[in-house]
């Protein structure tokens, strides 16, 4: 069964104390035995990696190779990518915008694969009582968003599509979706940017409405990322990971109700909400081709044009050159 591990520091300390104690008590060959390898995976709520965790399939596939699996949950992509860049985890997933911001910050992360487009999984949410009928009506308003969120990119391009600019609104930066929704409900902001499953949950709340999703504006892809050093040394391991991911993704695409039932107790989110979010998503991972790279380049150029990324970057430089898909 999968489990949520202790913090890296606590695990390091307790692991080190146990190893020292064992070295004193056990005979020579056992005392110096190599520990099992552990694959450390970062994930966020509601994703194919989250489904893979719930299935236990990866542990079964890697056990014969002497590889354990540890899972680390993150509130959003920027936090996950920070952990990846510091070596606290080996691989994980993040949306399009956090991935670009990580590259812009010089973090040593590389793209391994991408999911299919998921434009309805991001949105701009408002209160019905504020009578905001369209994106153009956000001019002069406060909008809660996060730095480097996929939904922040939606906000930027939705404003452009409505004939406005990012400077026409006042961004209220928050660290997580819960804070964003709380700000909206209190009236301290007039709109929030959200992603599934938080978007699906907001859509079910009385008095809230999705003003604009990503359709026609953003493909809102999820990317699978690692470091080049880890990928170079563990290509076979990554291929096993993506093989098991493909199996659960195929199942998830066909059984959104069962996905919801599987994840609801893990995430503390209603199965009805998760089913809505799952029905509008395609979990299958694909290789990163020129079209997907161009999408990411457009996103990077947009943020750079807004001054949110300090200088131009070449997204292709961060695409891992060798396929690790099965």
**Claim to verify: residue 309 and residue 253 sit in the same structural domain:** yes
CB atoms near residue 175 (< 10 Å): 13
**Claim to verify: residue 248 and residue 279 sit in the same structural domain:** yes
Asked if residue 95 is part of any domain, the answer here is: yes
Pair 143, 189: CB distance under 8 Å: yes
Q: How many CA atoms lie within 13 A of 244 on its CB side?
A: 19
Count: domains in the chain:
2
Residue that is last in its domain, among 166, 196, 213? 213
**Could you tell me which of 78, 219, 46, 45 has the C-alpha nearest to residue 148?**
78
Mark the ranges of the chain whose per-residue pLDDT is less than 70: 1-36
Tell me the whole-structure pTM to 2 decimals. 0.81
Residue 162 is given by DSSP the state T
pLDDT at residue 63, as a whole number: 95
pLDDT at residue 179, as a whole number: 95
**Claim to verify: residue 148 and residue 233 sit in the same structural domain:** no
The alpha helices in the chain, defined as continuous H runs, are: 8-25, 28-31, 48-55, 57-62, 77-85, 96-104, 150-161, 177-186, 198-203, 228-233, 235-254, 256-267, 271-279, 290-305
Tokens for 279, please give them: 């029905």
Pair 314, 112: CB distance under 8 Å: no
**Claim to verify: residue 240 and residue 269 sit in the same structural domain:** yes
Asked if residue 15 is part of any domain, the answer here is: no
Per-residue pLDDT reduced to its tens digit, 167-204:
999 999 999 999 999 999 999 999 999 999 999 999 99
pLDDT at residue 33, as a whole number: 33
Tracing tokens 């730095």 back to the chain, one arrives at 147
**Claim to verify: residue 136 and residue 109 sit in the same structural domain:** no
Asked if residue 283 is part of any domain, the answer here is: yes
Cα 75 to chain center, whole Å? Answer: 9
pLDDT at residue 3, as a whole number: 43
Asked if residue 31 is part of any domain, the answer here is: no
pLDDT at residue 317, as a whole number: 97
Whichever domain contains 70, its CATH number is 3.40.190.10
**Claim to verify: residue 248 and residue 111 sit in the same structural domain:** yes
Which SS3 state, helix, strand or coil, does residue 192 take? strand
Domain that holds residue 52: 36-116+222-315
Asked if residue 18 is part of any domain, the answer here is: no
**Claim to verify: residue 167 and residue 246 sit in the same structural domain:** no
pLDDT at residue 36, as a whole number: 59
């Amino acid at each position: 069964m999968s489990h949520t591990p202790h913090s890296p520091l606590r695990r390091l300390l307790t692991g080190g104390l146990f190893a020292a104690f064992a070295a004193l008590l056990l005979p020579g060959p056992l005392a110096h035995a190599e520990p099992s390898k552990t694959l450390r995976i970062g994930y966020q709520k509601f994703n194919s990696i989250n489904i893979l965790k719930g299935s236990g399939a990866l542990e079964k596939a890697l056990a014969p190779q002497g590889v354990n699996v540890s899972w680390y949950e993150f509130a959003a992509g920027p936090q996950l990518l920070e952990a990846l860049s510091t070596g606290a985890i080996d691989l994980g997933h993040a949306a399009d915008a956090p991935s670009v911001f990580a590259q812009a910050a010089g973090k040593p992360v590389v793209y391994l694969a991408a999911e299919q487009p998921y434009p309805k999984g991001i949105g701009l949410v408002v209160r019905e009582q504020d009578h905001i009928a369209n994106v153009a009506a956000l001019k002069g308003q406060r909008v809660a968003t996060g730095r480097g969120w996929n939904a922040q990119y939606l906000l930027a391009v939705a404003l452009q599509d409505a004939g406005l600019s990012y400077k026409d609104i006042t961004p209220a930066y928050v660290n997580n979706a819960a804070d964003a929704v709380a700000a909206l409900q209190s009236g301290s902001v007039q709109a929030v940017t959200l992603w599934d499953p938080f978007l699906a949950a907001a859509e079910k709340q009385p008095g809230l409405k999705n003003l604009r999703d990503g359709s026609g504006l953003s493909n809102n892809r999820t990317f699978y990322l690692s470091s080049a050093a880890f990928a170079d040394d563990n290509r076979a391991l990554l291929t096993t990971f993506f093989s098991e991911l493909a199996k659960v993704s195929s199942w998830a695409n066909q059984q959104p109700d069962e996905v919801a039932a599987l994840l609801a107790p893990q995430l503390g989110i209603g199965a009805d909400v998760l089913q809505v979010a799952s029905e509008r998503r395609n979990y299958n991972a694909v290789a990163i081709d020129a079209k997907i790279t161009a999408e990411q380049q457009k996103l990077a150029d947009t943020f750079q044009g807004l001054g949110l990324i300090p200088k131009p970057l070449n997204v292709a430089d961060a695409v891992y050159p060798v396929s690790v898909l099965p």
